[in-house]
Amino acid sequence: MPPLLKILIMRLGLGVLTLLLVSLVVFAATQALPGDAAKAILGKDSADTERYEALRKQLRLDRPLVEQYTNWLGGVVRGDLGRSLVGAGANVTDLIGARVVNSAILVLLAALVSIPISILLGALSAIWRDSKFDNAVNMTNLSLASLPEFVIGILLVLVFATAVFKWLPSVSNVNSLLPLAGQMKLFVLPVITLALAVIPYVSRMLRASTVEVLESEYVMMARLKGVSEPRVLWHHALPNAIVPTIQVIAINIAWLAGGIVTVEYLFTFPGVGAGLVDAVANRDMPVVQALVLLMAAIYVLLNLMADIFTILISPRLRTGLR
Amino acid sequence: MSDKGSGSQPGYLTRNMTRRDLLKGAAAVVVGATFGPMIAGCGGSETTTTTAGGVGAVKMGGHLRVAAGAGSAKEDLNIHGPALTPPSMAMRFNMYDSLLEFDHAGVLGVALAEMLDPNADGTQFTVRLKSDLVFHDGSAVNADAVVYSFNRILDPDNPGLAAKQLRGLTPNGIVKVDDLTVRFELEVANAIFPEALSAYSAGIVPVGYDPKAGDGAIGTGPFMLAKPGDFQPGIQAVLVKNPNYWRRDGGPYVDQLSIIEFADTTAQLNALLGGAADYCQMIAGAQREIATGAGFSLLEAKTGSWIPFTMNCMAKPFDDVRVRQAFRLIVDRPEMIAQAADGLQWVGNDMYAPFDAGYPADLPQREQDLEKAKSLLKEAGQEDLTIKLTTSTSVSSGAPAAATVFAQQAKGAGVTVQVDEVTGDVFWGDEYLKYPFAMDNWGTRGYLAQAGFGSLPGAIYNETHYGEISPKYVSLVEEAFGTVDDAKRNELIKEAATLEHEEGGYIVYGFDMQVDAHAANVQGAMPDFSGLASAAGGSRYRLVSLA
């Protein structure tokens, strides 16, 4: 078996184990929280014990905990994520399907916008180290990194949607019943907000590693050989500088997948983040489990991909496998 | 502050007119010497409303987009269950009707019923339906549908929200007389039975009704779902005009009505400011200036909703009436309303149901009197009292602020109040109804309906347990429930309310003002006394048009 495949299989196995543990922790956590779905649904009305007990029975919350968990797990293994405990008890897959698609598009767009910009800014800052450009980028990055993304989002709404200009929609309530193509305008502000949250980390990381590489002996050697400066940068320095950055990018995309909660809430974007907040408030265990597992799976997969990618593009690791 | 804006508001917002008119309307149904039937356009009043410009001036068509707060995936459109969120309440009000209905001014009249005929002692109520009414699916609104609807509400395995209010009614007491007539035979006299028939959760639905999300959500209301998928819980509902709508007084005017849901109030207002919505339900006090500053109009309604402090009369130290009285004297009500509610409340007098005809409006307004409070506490041996006050934003967004203001004001009487703010699950958890000192949130109700929910022993939401320590109070309320004579019942209510005012466990410092904001081209929205989900006519958007 090729060594890379072996690593892949081992890591995937570990990933599945991780997900199982996550599901156990989430289940335990939802049980540890005070109240249950019936109470969360009824609120004050749970004082009406007749209705409360009827609802508990209907939701099968009166069953033993182990039975509840194994029932759910058995369903997941068969590919059935179960039914939501609230509302009309819709199939979880149907319930979160549109949200997953919406969030995936949002994360993808944010990654597509932020990663090239980050690489460009990081590389240019490294080349023009300590120039006015570098200082300006640094200052901006530091200020952006110190602002929580919901503050950035609110400022963007004020400037571009409500108080100053009315160029862009202030809320991004994407309608999954309509084609997405006509609704791309709704993505603009959330994507910018997320991009502004990611760019500082990635570009600073890339700047630091590029600076290090540019001072290394093999770059000096290349320069002494008379290789042109763009070629030194793009062919010799960046491919090596980008290795540590890949991990940062992976973590940031994973953060995007899980950390869009506040941004989705702010823009009323119907994605997994907003869905998760609502499901937790409702103690809707099957939906919480599905969404948390999805986010955890993305985390595991992205980290795995980053590791594989790192091995493939760094010569030392690649040859070490043989 | 209680008169704020009343100059520009219709007269019914003044306390004296509202519930008296209502009870006059109800009197024709329930009680009074003549005890005659309520007939559309005759004894009772058809609940109709006319827009200012008249029907001819109203522009037809368009798409009204309403932004509603606190949406969640937990909501559904089952009219007999509780509306768990303001958006789902707004959807229901526009999709369903009940037999009777309070209009925006608080006058009870007929809706799907053509006539309501009570017997002499308030144990039988005969309802005749208007003829030729149809549901959204084209099926007929008939006695079978009414019988099915009330049986569904009374289902012991899954009781509807209105079940407790329909005091005295059992499935055996729902009798079909003919195709359009149903007789309700009660086991006990229930003077406020017509009020219960008017509840939104007593909506009339077709036989076999059992909606799953948007599927099967069929009523008689002015708007309906074109297809089940148009209702997305927690996200939005897109409703279309009901072409067979039964009221002939105008409306629905817009072709399409979207109720768009928001989890966050800032995003909700931003939708209005940014042009993604035309109408924004229930904005916060501080948002009023933002909305008017940006050129939007406000709709203010004075409601009977209240957020009381609840003192448990069975728990120390509130088992001593002097402590309860002292605590009521601690509150500087106007100050609390200004600080904790941004002025979005009007002053209360430690009694609920301010629009009830029996409300003792002539009792002097209770005011802060720290010296007297101190001396009462001293008498009770409770100087330097320290007490925990449990509150939650899930009671009301402003409840923790009011609790903090109370804690500050209590210092003046030497009382240390520790505000304990908890999450909703904790607040409504096992300790709810046992807290010595907490808060709660109630909607607009008549006195007896409210007492049945909150003050009688065995009431579902018995927070103060006042009924359990005052047999006199209980007998007054019970007697009122069985008293069909209007004047006599109102006297009993007045006496019961006065007792609660003197020694009960509620501190009712104020009632809510509800404020909506809307674009200048939105016309015909009327303020409503109920305060349900919106300032506008229980969020009924039938008579709203877009200029």
CA-based nearest residue to A40, from B404, B427, B355: B427
Longest CA pairwise span in chain B (Å): 70
Tens-place pLDDT, residues A126-162: 888 889 999 999 999 999 888 888 888 889 988 888 8
Is B234 within 8 Å of chain A by CB? yes
Using an 8 Å CB-CB cutoff, list chain A residues near B263: 265, 268, 274, 277-278
Contacts of A6 (CB under 8 A, 6+ apart): none
Residue B187's pLDDT is 92
Beta-sheet strands, E only, within B250-342 = 256-262, 279-280, 297-306, 309-311
Could you report the per-residue pLDDT of B467-476, keeping only the tens digit for each? 999 999 999 9
pLDDT value for B537: 63
- Comparing B414 with A175, which gets the higher pLDDT? B414
For residue B19, the model assigns a pLDDT of 33
Question: Angle B15-30/B486-503 helices, nearest 10 degrees?
Answer: 130
Mean pLDDT of B537-545: 76
Q: Is the pLDDT of residue B26 over 70?
A: no
What are the respective helix, strand and coil percentages of chain A, to the nearest 5? 80, 0, 20
Name the residue in chain A with its Cα closest to that of B273.
Answer: A162
- Decide yes or no: CATH 3.40.190.10 for domain B6-47+58-302+513-546: yes
* Helix pair angle (B399-411, B333-340), 10° resolution: 140
Nearest residue, CB atoms, B260 vs list A33, A173, A284: A173
φ and ψ at B304, to 5 degrees? -100, 15
Per-residue confidence (pLDDT) for residue A315, from 0 to 100: 65
Question: How many cross-chain Cβ pairs, A to B, lie less than 8 Å apart?
Answer: 134
Nearest to B434 by CA among B538, B318, B345, B521: B318
**Which pLDDT score, from 0 to 100, does residue A320 have?**
63
Distance of CA B192 to the CA centre of its chain: 15
pLDDT at A252: 81
Contact B74 A169 (CB under 8 A): no
What are the C-alpha distances in Å from B260 to residues A251, B220, B276, B283, B471? 34, 22, 10, 15, 48
The answer, yes or no, to whether ipTM is higher than 0.85 is no
Domain boundaries, chain B: 6-47+58-302+513-546, 309-508
pLDDT of B53 reads 42
Highest mean pLDDT: which of A281-295, B384-398, B496-510? B496-510
DSSP codes joined into one string, A153-216: HHHHHHHHTSSS---S-S-----TTS-GGGGGGGGHHHHHHHHHHHHHHHHHHHHHHHHHHHTS
User: What are the Cα distances from residue B24, in Å, to A145, B252, B304, B356, B497?
Assistant: 65, 29, 19, 11, 20
Which residue type is seen at B92?
R
Whether residue B321 is predicted with pLDDT greater than 90 in this model: the reply is yes
B249 has pLDDT over 90:
no
pLDDT digits (tens, 9 = 90+) for A63-119: 888 888 888 888 888 878 888 877 777 788 888 888 888 888 888 898 899 989 998
Report helix, strand or coil for B413. coil
Task: Name the DSSP class of B215.
Answer: B
Shortest alpha-carbon distance between residue A181 and chain B (Å): 18
Q: For residue B3, what pLDDT is reported?
A: 34
Specify the DSSP class assigned to residue B60.
Answer: P
A159, closest residue in chain B (CA to CA): B274
Residue B425 to chain A, least CA–CA distance (Å): 5
Please name the member of A44, A58, A266 whose beta carbon is closest to the beta carbon of B428. A44
Chain A residue with CA closest to B394: the answer is: A43
Q: Report pLDDT for B538.
A: 58
Kindly report the CATH number that applies to the domain delimited by B309-508: 3.10.105.10
The CA distance from B456 to B464, in Å, is: 10
Q: Does the pLDDT of residue B327 top 80, yes or no?
A: yes
Which of B79, B201, B290, B428 should one mutate to test binding to chain A, selecting the residue with the greatest count of A CBs within 10 A? Answer: B428
The alpha carbon of residue B329 is apart from the nearest alpha carbon of chain A, in Å, by: 28
Residue of B nearest to A35 (CA): B425
Location of structure tokens 């053509």: B114
Q: Across the interface, do A41 and B432 touch by the CB < 8 Å criterion?
A: no
Q: Does position B250 have pLDDT exceeding 80, yes or no?
A: no
Instruction: Copy the structure tokens of residue B32.
Output: 């009074």
CA distance A28 to chain B (A): 17
Distance between CA atoms of residues B498 and A315, nearest Å:
88
pLDDT at B542: 86
**How close does chain B come to A79, measured CA to CA in Å?**
23
User: Mean of the per-residue pLDDT values for chain B?
Assistant: 84
Residues of B in contact with A290 (CB under 8 A): none
- A87 → closest Cβ in B75, B164, B260: B75
User: How many other C-beta atoms lie within 10 A of the C-beta of residue A320?
Assistant: 10
Cα atoms in the Cβ-side hemisphere of radius 13 Å centred on A288: 22
Question: Mean pLDDT for chain A?
Answer: 83
Which is it for the CA torsion B341, B345, B346, B347, positive or negative?
Answer: negative
Which pair of structure tokens corresponds to residue B378? 């001293």
- E strand residue ranges, B27-173: 38-39, 63-69, 100-102, 108-110, 113-118, 124-129
Tell me which residues of chain B, numbers 443 to 462, contact chain A at a CB-CB cutoff of 8 Å. Answer: 460-461
- Number of C-beta neighbours around residue B474 at 10 A: 18
pLDDT digits (tens, 9 = 90+) for A195-240: 998 899 888 888 988 888 888 888 888 889 988 888 888 888 888 8
Q: Which residues of A touch B82 (CB under 8 A)?
A: 42, 45
Chain B positions touching A54 (Cβ under 8 A) are 157-159
Report CB contact under 8 Å: A54, B159: yes
Using a CB-CB distance cutoff of 8 angstroms, which residues of chain B are in contact with residue A281? Answer: 72
Query: Do A237 and A201 meet the contact criterion of CB atoms below 8 Å apart?
Result: no
Q: Is the pLDDT of residue B322 over 70?
A: yes
Q: Determine the Cα–Cα distance for residues B307 and B340; give it in Å rounded to an integer.
A: 12
Contact status, residue A271 vs residue A95, Cβ threshold 8 Å: no
| Nearest Cα to Cα of residue B455 among B510, B488, B504 | B504
Question: Are the CB atoms for A248 and A208 separated by under 8 Å?
Answer: no
The tokens for B87 are 């958006």
CA dihedral B218, B223, B225, B231 (to 10 degrees): -100
At position B545, the amino acid (one-letter code) is S
What residues have CB less than 8 Å from A281, skipping those under 6 apart?
A40, B72
Cβ distance A88 to B213 less than 8 Å, yes or no, reads yes
pLDDT in tens, B46-92: 444 444 444 457 888 899 999 998 888 888 899 998 887 888 889 99
Across B496-525, average pLDDT:
92
Cβ under 8 Å to A: B residues 202-231: 211-213, 215, 229-230
> What is the model's pLDDT at position B207?
95
Rounded CA-CA distance A310/A242 in Å is 9
Average pLDDT on B420-431 reads 84
Contact B274 A161 (CB under 8 A): yes
Sign, CA dihedral B314-B318-B319-B325, equals negative
Residue in chain A closest to B82 (alpha carbons) equals A42
The arithmetic mean of pLDDT across residues B538-545, rounded, is 78
State the maximum Cα–Cα separation within chain A, in Å, rounded to a whole number.
86
- Report strand pairing: B231-232 vs B279-280: unpaired
Task: Give the model confidence (pLDDT) of B298-319 as tens digits.
Answer: 988 888 889 999 999 999 899 9
Q: Report helix, strand and coil shares of chain B as percent, to nearest 5.
A: 30, 20, 50
Residue type, A312: L
Q: What is the pLDDT of residue A259?
A: 66
Neighbours of B295 (CB within 10 A): 9
Task: Please tell me the predicted confidence (pLDDT) of residue A316.
Answer: 67
Q: B333: number of CA atoms within 13 Å, CB side?
A: 23
Name the residue type at position B322: R
Tokens of A51: 């209705």
B446 φ/ψ sector (left φ>0, alpha ψ -120 to 50, else beta): beta
Query: A43 and B394: CB-CB below 8 Å?
Result: yes
Output DSSP code: residue B429. S
